[in-house]
């Protein structure tokens, strides 16, 4: 039995109401849908969101057991550098981990899922972690600006007694259908006529792939507990389910009014939402869209109850902050040039050789722990910092990224350049020992307090556009925000 053994999700802290977009750009598109969309913070991209979802997925799981990481996205930060390798490094996976990037159409999330299961079934891997993440950019005033949302989903695929949802069958279609496209170097996607995308795309391909799967498995639509498929058109989404013969209760909420269409991650995020409410024995169909599509049939096992209580979809959805400034949003996305000042313009060149040598410290946030007295320290040291110990060269590697801590001091800085001022940073004591200073993100200054519990999140530290380098490091997030 091969299938899903764990899941995790990430929905950004910020949510922007469609009314905010309309108040700024409604003169171009007066009609709009009701709801809000998830908006990645200024220090987030598809890589950082994938790391967040994967961290949630791997909670309580030995990371050394993961021997494959697949990363699916249509908004990869790097075209010539493996993005999956950055995700694997941040998660502190072993150097023998097979890493693969999947990109192109939005169906790459389910495509990666199928190939991850094939790898496990073929004994090429024991456990494969699939991360799907997208941070798509719509032109101001366009339909994508309302419809798209930012987010990530992660699924751990394995076999044996730990499977919570077994993969029973797959049906796929491929069509070179140009509805949206973006060439290398372009910021925004091109769209063909909206009617064409709706009527010749979603209305045709989604029923085709789901019907093909049901026929292949000799199943009736009534045999399925939940049917999952993406469609940014709310009325058409409901009509597709009705045409398939499904009842409204069988159709999974498409999240259009709460998160938005998260691209390659969207069907997997809806799958995670369905699994959180699933019962043993439920059959779930999940389909994707993009140059055709994939449809997968899962059967929920008795192990599903073991997954209760993790952050997953619901807790991510509940944790939110309204982004009420459209101008701030387009500044986050570098659509609106803003004055950064002399300090902001000066970005030190990334020393690539040093980055490689210090890879474990920077990406994996690994320090050292004294074998003699057990004192952790970041960065790694040769001499134990415990004054009662002082052991020399008796250290073992110690990962801090999955540890929580307590804020012991902080500062709100209005002088240093920050797209989302003020810049907030502080010193945290880790649970179990160790201390370091971090930027603090996903919070407002008025909620930051000494003694506040924090956790760490992988974020973009800087963007050196002149040299084409995204600098990543870990930041602190208040657990109460």
- Give me the residue label for tokens 């910021």: 187
Contact 296, 169 (CB under 8 A): yes
Residue 276 sits at φ, ψ, to 5 deg, of -65, -25
Residues in Cβ contact with 371 at an 8 Å cutoff, skipping those fewer than 6 apart: 391, 394, 395, 396
Tokens of 479: 């657990």
User: With DSSP H G I counted as helix, E B as strand and the rest as coil, what are the percentages for the chain, rounded to 5?
Assistant: 30, 30, 40
The DSSP symbol for 58 reads: T
3-state secondary structure 285-315: EEECCCCEEEEEEEEECHHHHHHCCCCHHHH
At the topology level, CATH places domain 341-365+400-478 in: OB fold (Dihydrolipoamide Acetyltransferase, E2P) (2.40.50)
Looking at every residue in the chain, the average pLDDT score rounds to: 94
Distance (Å, whole) CA 413 – CA 440 = 11
- Report whether pLDDT(29) > 80: no
185 band by pLDDT with thresholds 50, 70 and 90: confident
Residue 220: predicted pLDDT = 96
Average pLDDT over every residue of 65-69: 96
Q: By three-state DSSP, how is residue 386 classified?
A: coil
Q: By C-alpha distance, which of 442, 474, 464, 475 is closest to 78?
A: 464
- Report whether pLDDT(31) > 70: no
- Report whether pLDDT(462) > 80: yes
Superfamily of domain 2-332: Thiolase/Chalcone synthase (3.40.47.10)
Contact 243, 210 (CB under 8 A): no
- CA separation (Å) from 344 to 35, 236, 335, 338, 454? 35, 46, 17, 10, 27
Average pLDDT over every residue of 170-191: 94
Tokens of 458: 């992988």
- Report whether pLDDT(118) > 50: yes
The DSSP symbol for 67 reads: -
Contact 457, 48 (CB under 8 A): yes
pLDDT for 127-151, tens place per residue? 999 999 999 999 998 889 999 999 9
Residue 306: predicted pLDDT = 86
- Report whether pLDDT(365) > 90: yes
- Report whether pLDDT(285) > 70: yes
Q: By C-alpha distance, which of 252, 241, 238 is closest to 286?
A: 252
Distance (Å, whole) CA 106 – CA 230 = 10
Residue 367: predicted pLDDT = 97
Residue 299 sits at φ, ψ, to 5 deg, of -120, 120
Residue 63 sits at φ, ψ, to 5 deg, of -70, -25
Contact 452, 407 (CB under 8 A): yes
99 band by pLDDT with thresholds 50, 70 and 90: very high
- Report whether pLDDT(40) > 80: yes
Distance (Å, whole) CA 219 – CA 330 = 47
480 band by pLDDT with thresholds 50, 70 and 90: low
- CA separation (Å) from 134 to 216, 223, 307, 308, 378? 31, 32, 25, 26, 32
> Would residue 177 be called left, alpha or beta, if left means φ above 0 and alpha means ψ between -120 and 50 degrees?
beta
Contact 230, 267 (CB under 8 A): yes
- Please state the separation of Cα 351 from the chain's center in Å: 28
Q: By three-state DSSP, how is residue 163 classified?
A: coil
Distance (Å, whole) CA 3 – CA 310 = 19
What residue ranges do the domains of the chain occupy? 2-332, 341-365+400-478
Q: By C-alpha distance, which of 442, 440, 414, 418 is closest to 427?
A: 440
Pairing of strands 14-17, 68-72: unpaired
- Report whether pLDDT(32) > 70: no
- Report whether pLDDT(155) > 50: yes
Residue 481: predicted pLDDT = 47
Tokens of 186: 């372009």
- Report whether pLDDT(416) > 90: no
Residue 30: predicted pLDDT = 62
Average pLDDT over every residue of 439-465: 96
């Amino acid at each position: 039995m091969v299938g899903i053994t764990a899941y995790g999700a990430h929905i950004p802290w910020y949510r922007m109401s469609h009314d905010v977009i309309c108040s700024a750009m409604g003169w171009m598109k007066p009609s709009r849908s009701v709801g809000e969309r998830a908006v990645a913070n200024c220090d987030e991209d598809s890589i950082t969101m994938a790391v967040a979802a994967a961290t949630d997925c791997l909670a309580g799981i030995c990371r050394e057991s993961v021997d494959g990481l697949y990363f699916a996205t249509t908004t990869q930060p790097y075209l010539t550098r493996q993005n999956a390798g950055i995700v694997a490094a941040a998660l502190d996976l072993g150097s023998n981990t097979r890493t693969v990037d999947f990109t192109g159409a939005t169906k790459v999330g389910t495509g990666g899922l199928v190939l991850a299961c094939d790898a496990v079934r073929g004994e090429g891997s024991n456990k494969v972690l699939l991360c799907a993440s997208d941070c798509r950019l719509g032109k101001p005033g366009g339909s994508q600006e309302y419809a798209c949302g930012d987010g990530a989903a992660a699924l751990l695929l394995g076999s044996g007694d730990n499977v919570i949802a077994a993969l029973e069958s797959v049906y796929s279609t491929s069509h070179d259908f140009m509805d949206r496209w973006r060439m290398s170097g372009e910021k925004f996607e091109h769209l063909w006529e909206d009617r064409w995308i709706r009527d010749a795309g979603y209305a045709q391909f989604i029923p085709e792939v789901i019907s093909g799967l049901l026929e292949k498995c000799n199943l009736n639509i009534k045999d399925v507990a939940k049917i999952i498929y993406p469609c940014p058109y709310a009325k058409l989404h409901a009509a597709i389910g009705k045409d398939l013969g499904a009842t409204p209760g069988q159709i999974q909420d498409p999240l259009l009014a709460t998160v938005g269409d998260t691209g390659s991650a969207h069907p997997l995020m809806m799958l995670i939402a369905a699994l959180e409410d699933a019962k043993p024995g439920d059959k779930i169909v999940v389909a994707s869209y993009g140059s055709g599509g994939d449809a997968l049939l899962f059967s929920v096992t008795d192990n599903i109850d073991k997954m209760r209580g993790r952050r997953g979809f619901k807790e991510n959805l509940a944790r939110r902050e309204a982004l009420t400034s459209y101008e701030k949003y387009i500044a986050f996305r570098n659509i609106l040039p803003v004055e950064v000042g002399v300090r902001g313009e000066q970005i030190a060149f990334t020393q690539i050789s040093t980055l490689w040598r210090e890879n474990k410290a920077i990406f994996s946030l690994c320090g050292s722990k004294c074998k003699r007295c057990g004192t952790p320290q970041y960065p790694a040291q040769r001499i134990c910092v415990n004054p009662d110990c002082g052991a020399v060269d008796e250290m073992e590697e110690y990962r801090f990224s999955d540890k929580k801590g307590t804020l012991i001091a902080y500062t709100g800085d209005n002088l240093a350049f920050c797209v989302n001022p003020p810049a907030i940073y502080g010193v945290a004591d880790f649970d179990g020992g160790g201390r370091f200073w971090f930027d603090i993100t996903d919070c407002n200054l008025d909620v930051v307090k000494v003694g506040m519990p924090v956790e760490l999140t992988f974020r973009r530290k800087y963007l050196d556009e002149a040299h084409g380098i995204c600098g990543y490091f870990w930041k602190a997030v208040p657990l109460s925000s």
